[in-house]
Amino acid sequence: MSRLLILGAGIAGHTAAMHARHRLPSPHEVVVVSPNSQWNWIPSNIWVGTGFMKPEQVTFPLAPVYEKLGIPFHQARAVSLHPDGSADRPAPHVTIEYTSPDRQGQTADLDYDFLINATGPRLNFGATKGLGPEAHSLSVCTYGHASQTAAALQQSIQRMKRGDRQTFLIGTGHGSCTCQGAAFEYLFNLEHELRRQGVRDRARLVWISNEAELGDFGMGGMFLRRGGYVTHSRVFTESLFTERGVEWITRAHVREVAPGETSYETLDGENASITHDFAMLLPPFTGVGLRAFQRDGRDITADLFAPSQFMFVDGDYRKKAFDAWAPEDWPETYQSPRYTNIFAVGIAFAPPHPISKPMTSVTGTPISPTPPRTGMPSGVMARHVALNIVDMMTGKAEAPTRKASMAHMGAACIASAGADLVHGTAVSMTVFPIVPDFNKYPDTGRDLRYTSGEIGLAGHWIKHALHYAFLYKAKANPLWIAVPE
């Protein structure tokens, strides 16, 4: 019997666990470790943040699902990785610390034959002074944060109904942020809610982002074929902002969030500030801080993890000029180059280089997005990794055979722009490949047949349907495997 240990139960970890358990013969074991007791469909947190949904509509308890699937579940956080074993425990293992109320603070060691690191990100609010729900800004990164944001929004709406004007600042709270898409989606759901409540005329909406231009989304932007001609996503996005009366500040690194005021630096070295009544600013990400040790106790964290604390996998991490990178430099199997039984998926793996061109301000501050790798890409790579490990555990293969490089993978994204089944809209976008390939597609970097962008009510209906479809799948309900990642 072999054991697959999965660290993390988000989109990537949960997907990997379900597929591995579905395919593995019963003598083999799948074990999941996650500090959270609830599974959260994070893309719908933006609806919680406007009050359209409640936290219980985007979450469910993990333990009953894993009990149904026959997967041992530990509500705990991974503390340290011992891939060669230790002096008193020869098998490869992970030390965990329980977060469940009944075992809070207790530690244990879990052996493994194969390991998937799907721990996701640490929300690094501390990178910017005053950033975060415990300081002076709001967030939709967790369902708890989103619920707090919804309450603050209702307070602002009540003030506007009494005749006050309010300024809303939405965007990224640091020069190295990843998730522009989540902030973008929240911005337009907020704008829709203000119109629905009849107070849009008393609101100033301002977008602030580390993108070089609107429509970058951490992917260097994209070209779209629309109405018989090819246009850039910047034009597509600027038209939406203009139509909805939203101001924008790009190429910005937020330096500090104070009560009612945010200061920032731009690429050209300008230092400025903006006053506001409501600020929802997303943080940068780091890895969760998992440490690694050799059998003799020597710390080998730097051998397995990048300085960002994300795990090295089979990508090319040599230092190169941005223009010298190639699609082949991106990981394909997400296998550790040092330990063939360790893999990392989703946000947990270290991208080898940015997709958007890295930029630095005249004062030396990096201001550019880091690569997104959430949602659909996380699910796809998790499934491929899980099936590769199944083949290796059952003796069908000695090495990974399935590949899921973001340089050869497409993605679809539907960003709600107003959660209403009759009057809502959504920005529906597809891109192929995620990492542009200017050798294969010299003019645009991507295949225009599969790279598109549309705005309309139909997209919102699809997003709403997907919300329920993915929750259905994640609960391992009958025929869950028919719902694609």
Q: What are the DSSP calls for 29-97, one per residue?
A: EEEEEES-SEEE-GGGHHHHTTTSS-GGGSEEEHHHHHHHHT--EEEEEEEEEETT-BTTB-S-EEEEE
- Confidence bin at 295 (pLDDT 50/70/90): very high
CB-based contacts of 484: which residues, under 8 Å, 6+ apart? none
> pLDDT of 408-454, one tens digit each?
999 888 888 887 777 778 888 899 999 999 999 999 999 999 998 88
Q: Is the dihedral of CA 200, 201, 203, 205 positive or negative?
A: positive
The predicted-structure confidence for 42-74, as pLDDT tens digits, reads as follows: 999 999 999 999 999 999 999 999 999 999 999
Residue 79: what pLDDT? 97
Does position 226 have pLDDT exceeding 90, yes or no?
no
Task: Say how far apart CA 239 and CA 235 lie, in whole Å.
Answer: 6
* Structural domain includes residue 137: no
With respect to residue 453, please indicate whether it lies within any of the assigned structural domains: no
362 within a domain of the structure (yes/no): yes
Average pLDDT across the chain, whole number: 95
pLDDT tens-digit profile of 299-326? 999 999 999 999 999 999 999 999 999 9
Least confidently predicted of 169-183, 227-241, 320-334, 410-424: 410-424
CA–CA gap between residue 10 and residue 345 (Å, rounded): 11
- Alpha carbons 72 and 33: distance in angstroms, whole number: 9
Strand-pair category, 73-82 with 59-61: unpaired
Place 224 in a pLDDT band, splitting at 50, 70 and 90.
confident
Which pLDDT value is given to residue 429? 87
Q: Is residue 14 part of a domain?
A: yes
Q: Tell me the residue range of the domain where 331 lies.
A: 3-123+285-393
Please report which confidence band the pLDDT of residue 40 belongs to, taking 50, 70 and 90 as the band edges.
very high
130, part of any domain: no
**424 assigned to some structural domain:** no
The domain spanning residue 300 has which CATH number? 3.50.50.100
Domain count, the chain: 1
Say which amino acid occupies 31: V
Residue 448 belongs to some domain of the structure: no
What tens digit of pLDDT does each residue of 349-375 get?
999 999 999 999 999 999 999 998 888
CA pseudo-torsion sign 204, 205, 210, 215: negative
Q: Are 244 and 191 contacting, i.e. CB atoms less than 8 angstroms apart?
A: yes
In a domain, 15, yes or no: yes
Asked whether residue 227 carries a pLDDT value surpassing 90, the answer given is no
Give residue 372's pLDDT. 87
Dihedral, CA of residue 173, residue 176, residue 182 and residue 187, to nearest 10: 40
